[in-house]
Amino acid sequence: MLDYVRSNRREVIAGVVLVVLLAGYIGTHPRGASTYVMTIWANQGLILGLAACAQFFAVVVRGIDLSVGAIMALTNCIASYLLDGSALGIGFGMFAVVAAGAACGLLNGVIIVYGRLQPIVVTLATASIFVGIALLLRPTPGGAINYDLADAITLDVLGIPTALIITGVVIMGFWLPFRRTGLGLGLYALGSSEQAAFQSGINTKFIRLAAFTLAGFFGGLAGLYYSFVTTTGDAGIAPGFTLNSIAAVVLGGVLLRGGVGSLVGALAGAFILKTIASLMFFSGLPSLAQPLFEGMILAAAIAIGGADVLRARNKLEAYS
């Protein structure tokens, strides 16, 4: 048990912080831990959580994806056209929305790998393109999502918020098996040391392409889920989600220099960030002071993560 905690220290810390914050939130909320409160909390958390998953796949291979929010905006706008009508049409629409996200990610990957450019500048440029296409589709917010389906996916099953069930499926059904596959291990190998990975015979180009495609895939999922929660298409959602997804993965213990962290941490970080925001809302602080406190808590949380440096045995360890 102790070994398990030690080897997953980062995820455990993020989990503990999340539980403490959530307890504080439920404690201060006038309606307590009702299904209603938990559902809204989980929905907000899952949107950012999926965006953080997208960011995780870019960060773990020592990259960064500044187009996460733009892919969400684009897929959200596509969803607002396709997710209404017959059951078959909606089924196809959901597939098309996520596929569009994956295609955006693949495009990022192809330019990064074959154009030999830095991910940060490539995704900066493609983000502009994706937002442009989203604006072509929806110059002003609008469109519709099938309400029955949206309700089914954003409410609760037997008192458990559906969003938490989806989170569980992503972790149990996707992540835990995935990280044991060759691709899952390859992501960490590439992020830790590209040269060592290459010399061990790993196809680094393929791994990097796959990582950015997965990032796009989760960006598409985030856009899809956002559509179910808001039931409209809006091209203007990009900037907030991109920056918050970076903050979320860092809070979840994923290192920006690659090779360290997990999808579970990224999800935990996203829920932490959303819990802080909700906690502010019910904390009784004057509403004008809330953004400042939110920023200070975010900075404090990141600074505590940086406290690793105090444990460094010698000064050189800090310069890795």
Partner 1 sequence: MLRSISVDSLMPYFGVVILIFAGSAFFPQVLSVDYLTQQLQIAAFLGLLATGATIVILLGHIDLSVPWVLTGAAILSTALVGSGNPVLGALAVPAALAFGALIGVINAAGVAILRIPSMVWTLAVNSMLLGLAVLNTGGFNPRGESSELMITMASGDLFELPVSFLIWIAVSLALTWLLTRTPFGRYLRSIGHNEKASFLSGVSTPSVLFAAFAIAGMCSALGGVLLAGYANQAYQSMGDPFLLPTIAAVVIGGTSILGGRGGLFGTIGGALFITLLTSILSVMQIGDAWRNIIFGVIILVMLLFQTLRKGAPA
SS3 30: coil
* DSSP secondary structure code for residue 317 in this structure: G
| 110 counts as binding partner 1 under rule CB under 8 A | no
| 141 counts as binding partner 1 under rule CB under 8 A | no
C-beta closer to partner 1: residue 19 or 309: 309
Among residues 302, 294, 241, 237, the alpha carbon closest in space to that of 46 is found at 241
| 139 counts as binding partner 1 under rule CB under 8 A | yes
Number of residues that bind partner 1 (CB under 8 A): 52
Nearest distance, CB of residue 201 and partner 1, angstroms = 17
Nearest distance, CB of residue 14 and partner 1, angstroms = 15
| 243 counts as binding partner 1 under rule CB under 8 A | yes
- Chain positions 251 to 310 lying near partner 1, rule: CB under 8 A, are 256-257, 288-296, 298-299, 302-303, 305-309
Give the side-chain half-sphere CA count within 13 A for 177: 5
Phi first, then psi, for residue 18 (nearest 5°) are -60, -45
| 133 counts as binding partner 1 under rule CB under 8 A | yes
Candidates 9-17, 132-140, 185-193, 209-217; binding stretch for partner 1 (CB under 8 A): 132-140
- Chain positions 182 to 241 lying near partner 1, rule: CB under 8 A, are 239
| 250 counts as binding partner 1 under rule CB under 8 A | yes
Q: Are 68 and 51 in contact (CB under 8 A)?
A: yes
Q: Are 194 and 204 in contact (CB under 8 A)?
A: yes
Nearest distance, CB of residue 225 and partner 1, angstroms = 24
C-beta closer to partner 1: residue 169 or 296: 296
Q: Are 196 and 189 in contact (CB under 8 A)?
A: yes
C-alpha–C-alpha distance, residues 304 and 282, integer Å: 25
Burial class, 263, CB count within 10 angstroms (exposed 0-12 / middle 13-18 / buried 19+) = buried
Nearest distance, CB of residue 61 and partner 1, angstroms = 16
Among residues 305, 300, 294, 208, the alpha carbon closest in space to that of 261 is found at 305
Nearest distance, CB of residue 161 and partner 1, angstroms = 28
Q: Determine how many CB atoms are found less than 10 A away from the CB of residue 305.
A: 18
DSSP string, 285-316: --GGGHHHHHHHHHHHHHHHHTTHHHH-SSGG
Nearest distance, CB of residue 151 and partner 1, angstroms = 32
- Can you tell me which of 79, 100, 104, 247 binds partner 1, judged by CB under 8 A? 247
| 313 counts as binding partner 1 under rule CB under 8 A | no
Nearest distance, CB of residue 278 and partner 1, angstroms = 16
Among residues 206, 187, 190, 204, the alpha carbon closest in space to that of 266 is found at 187
Positions in the binding site for partner 1 (CB under 8 A): 64, 111, 115-118, 120-122, 124-129, 131-136, 139, 239, 243, 246-247, 250, 256-257, 288-296, 298-299, 302-303, 305-309, 315-316, 318-320
